[in-house]
Amino acid sequence: MPKRLLTLILAAILGVIPMASSAADTKPILDPENTVYLDLPDGRVVIQMRPDLAPNTVARIKELVRQGFYVGLNFHRVSPGVMAQAGDPRGEVTSGSGKRLKAEFSKAPHVRGTVSMARANDPNSADSQFFICFAPAPFLDNQYTIWGEVISGMEHVDAIKAGSPSDNGHVDNPTKIVRMQIAADVKDKK
Query: If DSSP codes are grouped into helix, strand and coil, which group holds residue 10?
Result: helix
Dist. CA 142–CA 146, nearest whole Å: 9
* Ordered domains of the chain (ranges, CATH): 30-185 (2.40.100.10)
Q: What is the pLDDT of residue 185?
A: 96
**CB-side neighbour CA atoms (13 Å) of 175:** 23
pLDDT band at 91 (very low <50, low <70, confident <90, very high): confident
Find the mean pLDDT for residues 146-158. 98
Query: 16-44, pLDDT tens digit by residue?
Result: 333 333 333 344 568 999 999 999 999 99
pLDDT at 53 over 70: yes
Edge-to-edge order in the sheet of strand 43-49: 77-79, 83-86, 130-133, 114-117, 146-152, 43-49, 35-40, 179-182
Dist. CA 151–CA 128, nearest whole Å: 21
Find the mean pLDDT for residues 2-9. 46
Nearest in space to 140 (alpha carbons), one of 127, 126, 151: 126
Q: What percent of the chain has pLDDT over 90?
A: 73
Q: What is the pLDDT of residue 29?
A: 61
pLDDT at 147 over 90: yes
Nearest in space to 73 (alpha carbons), one of 179, 150, 163, 1: 179
pLDDT band at 148 (very low <50, low <70, confident <90, very high): very high
